[in-house]
Each structure stands twice: as structure tokens, then as C-alpha cells.
Amino acid sequence: MQSGKQKRSFLYNVLKNCSIGDGESRVTINHTVFTVTGDPLIGGTGALFNCISKMRKPSREVLLLFIVGALILGFYQMGVMDREGLAREPFKNILERINDFGSEYLRKVNITYKEENITKILNEITTTVTTLSNLLTSQVFNISLKEAAPSPEVSYKLNKFKSPLSVPYRDLPYIDDITTEKDIPQLHPTLYKEKNYTSKTPLKKILMWNDAYSNPHFGFGFGQEPFLLAKCPVNTCFTFHDRKKFPYTEWDAIVWHFRSNDKSLPQQRSNHTRYVFWMMESAAHLYGNIKPYNGKFNWTMLYRMDSDIYHPYGMVYKRRALAPLSPYIDYAANKTKMAAWFVSNCYAQSGRDKLTDSLQKQIQVDVYGKCGKYQCERKYQHSHCLQMLQNDYKFYFSFENSLCRDYVTEKFFNILSYNVIPVVYGFGNYSQQAPPHSYIDVLDFPNVTALADYLKYLDRNHTAYNEYFEWKRYYENLAYWPRVARSWCKLCELLHTDNSPKVYTDLYKWFVTESHCKNTNTKDISDFVRGKG
């Protein structure tokens, strides 16, 4: 067994002569500090394998090198860049992921070893990895990226447009036991039909008072059936739309949509009834006076992350088990066009049209819909159009019509299911709602030119471009109905568990003032979208 010093020297000498990534990357290993510089870092594991696979039969030491290299480069893939995160990452999970990488790559080069030899190799790996883990938790592990996108931590400090409550990436939750099936409304045609209350078991009664964009079922459904189909942890609730089913004092919750044409409220109230303010439009598009409703509502149910019942336009969750490793895919291959934007509202408060005009002076941007000269054969959000987008374009502009806190619409979450990089513009706190390195935030850049230069860089560099799809192995983008169901499951749970008194005495302040909306009437936004930043 080699000494630690000899082993480090061996690793250094091999890595020094190993070309990683696009030729600009390198790995340097010193006695105490591991520094990884490179572009791209995420693709480094695969590139390291390519170097090793040139050898006819790698030695035990080279295999050890590969595993340790996979560990180092794999930390970035796991989204644990911060040092505290490195210390918290379960060691067992790290070893499982290394084993996943190693077994797949060994299979590709048809290397076979006797079982006892594999055991010896794994023992050496365990010893080395343990030593490396101790180094990591003692905070001597530094990673830097060359020519990479601005990190969320740094860009947030520099970005004067972000919502004041924007923070670095949060650890997204794991997929739980609530359903992820996307076809439930199609498989259960009675879901959206109102039902008679016949249960002998007491159920919490929820009245959908008005409608959500002409949908009296609010996209969820009626009766107890949707709670059961969603596999809600607490499912003893029943939804209605018929106000005459019970006296107003017997309702456990009344869900009310401000943007509905019917803005009436019950004339009688009961102290035990929870009035729920439901809203999906941004605070910049109220189309009505919300102040008369101060003091009327107990809970909020909307896209704001600080609402009582979080009800976003989309959700991304961690997978419990990693998706299987697939053969290397070049997501940039055969894509001949740069960027596309599907839009129907041409002149939004956010100034997204001016931003697109500024970008079109520097890169190719094809605008689809009534605001541009291109048309898709079917409705622009239809899967046919999104498939065309995935096949032909490298980037998709997901530009919001409002710059308001946490406001991210379905146009962003829909595109995450396709192999095209979303370029986002909004105050959506994207780092709180999406995986690291799954999008490009316009407001992470000091000006439009810097953004255009980075998009051109990714257009030239397929390896760096492909980094933006690594997250899909670790996360899952939920379909529409499961996402809606999660919010209603939460409402049902709260009706059984939360009896604490609460009233939004100043709903206007909470929803409008504290949304920190901006538009092109503010000079900083106006200058930025016009390319003056």
C-alpha cells in the first residue's frame, strides 16, 4: 500500500496529464487543499472516464483515481457547493452515487474483475474516500469555475433588482407519498362533477365560493374523491360548490378568488370557518380594489412562498432514487437556432418586450405568437410546439409579465420538462423554486450585453451547455394536477390541525406592498431592459 504522500503524488502526476472537458480544465491535488478549476465541472466525471478508458486495462490505482475524481467532481452535481452542505451530505449517499458512476463506466469499457479483486479495490476506495471526507468537513475543499455563470450567492449581492427576500439556493424537498400521476383527471371523469355528501364519517366541509377562471372546481375536483386519489396524508375533507348544501355557519373553510367576477362574501360568518384568500395573478394585476377585504380572511393560498398554503404554478422535487444513468447525450446536437419566445401579451409592465428587442440586436431570437412574425401550427403552449422548441432551439425565454416577489408562472415550469435551457426574467426567487443550474437568470448579469455574451459562449461550448441538464437525474418536475392536489391536501391537513386565531387585518399591505413589484416606470428596470445597464 502506498503512503499518503506517494499516493497524492501519483494522483497529481496522472491528473496533470489528463485533459478534462474542453481542454481548458484541469485538476490539481495538493497535500491539504484540493482545488478544482474547470469548465465544465459537471461534465468532469465523464471526461475523466474518457481519459482512463484510453488505457487497455486500467490498474487498481487508476480505478482508484477515477472513483476519487468522481467523488470530487460529483459534489458539484449533487448541489452541495457550500461547505456546510458538504459536511451535511450523507456519506452513504455519496458512496452510492460513486458506485453508480463507476459500475456504469466499467460496463462501457467491458472491464471484468474477479470478485475478490473488486473487494480489495473497494476497500482501498473506502480508506481514501474517508480521508477525503475528513478533509472536506474540515473546510479545505475549494471549487472555482472558469467562464461559468455567476453563482447565485455572488450575483444576489450584486443584483439590485432582486426581491429583497431573495436568498441562495434552498434544498428542495423530496417527493413524498402524495401522488405524482399526471393523468388522474382523464382517468376519473367524475372528478369535476359535484357529489352528494353521504359520508357517515365526519368530514371537513370546504366550499369553493366562486370560481378560478371559470372553473368552479378550482382545478382540483369535488367531494372526497380528489383527496383520496391524491393520497393526501389527511384525506377526511369534502369539497362543494353549491352554497345551499349547508348553512354558512357549518362550513369549515370557504375558498374565495379575488379575480372572479363574483366578489361577494357570505352575509353570515362563523368563528370556526376559515376564509381562504386564493390568488394566482401577481400583485401588479389586481384589476380591483383589495382594501375593502382587509380583515376578512384567515389564510392565504397562492404562489407566494410565505402564504399559509403554498400554491405555486409548478413544483420541482428531489427524487428518492436517482434516475438511471443513460448514454451520453449532447443536448445541443442538431439544434440550429439560438433562442425562442412564445408570447401573446406584447406590452407587459415588466418591459420584457424591450428586453427582447435589446437581445435581438446581439443574438438570434425568434418571437412566436401575435407579438412576433413566427407562428406555431398549434396553440403555443401545446406539446407540439414545445417539442418543436426542444428540437430546434437552445434557449427559451421565460419572461414574466410582472416583476413581483415569488411570481413564476407555468411557462417556466412547463419548459423544465423539455431539453431546452430556460432564460428567466422576473422576481420569482428562482433559486427557491428550481434546482441549481437548471436555468439562466437574466438579472444575474450586469447588463444585456453580458447576458448575450454568455448565451453565445454556451452556443459554442456544447459541454458547458449540457451541464444545464444534469439536474434532471436528481429532480422531477411535477405535472399540473399533482401540484394542485398538494395545496388542497395541505388545506385539508390544516383544517384538522391548526386552530390558532389568525386574520389578515391589512391584506393590501401583505399582498401588494410586500410583493415589492417593479416595472419600467422605475429607472433601473427601464435602463436595464433597454440595454443601458
Coil/strand/helix, residue 312: coil
Please, are residues 472 and 245 in contact by the beta-carbon 8 Å criterion?
A: no
Class of domain 316-477: alpha beta
Tell me the domain boundaries of the chain: 4-148, 184-314, 316-477
Give the relative orientation of helices 352-360 and 448-460 as an angle to the nearest 10 degrees: 60
- Residue 526 amino acid letter: S
Other C-beta atoms closer than 10 Å to the C-beta of 505 total 11
Give the pLDDT score at 119: 53
**DSSP string covering 2-31, please?**
--HHHHHHHHHHHHHT--BTTTTBEEEE-S
Q: Give the whole-angstrom CA distance, residue 46 versus residue 462.
A: 14
Pairing state between β 26-29 and 34-38: antiparallel
Q: Which three cell numbers stand for residue 492?
A: 385539508
Report pLDDT for 367.
Answer: 96
Distance between CA atoms of residues 504 and 296, nearest Å: 7
The pLDDT, as a whole number, for residue 41 is 36
Q: Name every residue whose Cβ is closer than 8 Å to that of residue 441 and which is 6 or more positions away in sequence.
A: 155, 424, 425, 430
Read off the DSSP letter of residue 467.
Answer: G
Cis peptide before 40 (omega within 30 of 0): yes
Report CA Rg, the chain: 26
Strand arrangement of the beta sheet that strand 309-310 belongs to = 237-240, 204-208, 253-257, 274-279, 299-302, 309-310
Residues 6+ apart with CB under 8 A from 50: none
Residue 399 dihedral angles phi and psi, to the nearest 5°: -100, 125
pLDDT at 477: 87
Residue 183: what pLDDT? 73
Task: Report pLDDT for 128.
Answer: 55
User: Strand, helix or coil at 91?
Assistant: helix
CB 443 within 8 A of CB 159: yes
Contacts for 368 with CB less than 8 Å, ≥ 6 apart: 340, 341, 342, 343, 374, 375, 376, 380, 385
Sheet bearing 365-368, strands edge to edge: 365-368, 337-342, 393-399, 421-425, 440-441
| pLDDT, tens digit only, all 533 positions of the chain | 444 444 344 444 444 444 433 333 333 333 323 333 333 333 444 445 445 544 445 555 555 666 666 555 554 444 433 333 333 334 444 445 445 545 444 444 444 444 455 455 555 555 555 554 444 433 333 322 223 333 333 333 334 444 434 445 566 777 776 666 777 887 788 999 999 888 888 999 999 999 999 999 999 999 999 999 999 999 999 999 999 999 988 999 999 999 999 999 998 899 999 999 999 999 999 989 999 999 999 999 999 999 999 999 999 988 877 777 677 889 999 999 999 999 988 899 999 999 999 999 999 999 999 889 998 865 545 778 889 999 999 999 999 999 999 999 999 999 999 999 999 999 999 999 999 999 999 999 999 999 999 999 999 999 999 999 999 988 988 888 989 999 999 999 999 999 999 999 999 999 999 999 999 999 999 999 999 86
Distance (Å, whole) CA 416 – CA 317 = 12
Angle among Cα 203, 184, 229 to the nearest 5 degrees reads 30
- What would the pLDDT profile of 188-208 be if each residue is shown by its tens digit? 889 999 998 888 889 999 999
Q: For residue 63, which phi and psi values (nearest 5 degrees)?
A: -60, -40
- Residue ranges of alpha helices (H) inside 207-299 are 225-229
Taking the CB of residue 61, how many other CB atoms lie within 10 A of it?
Answer: 15
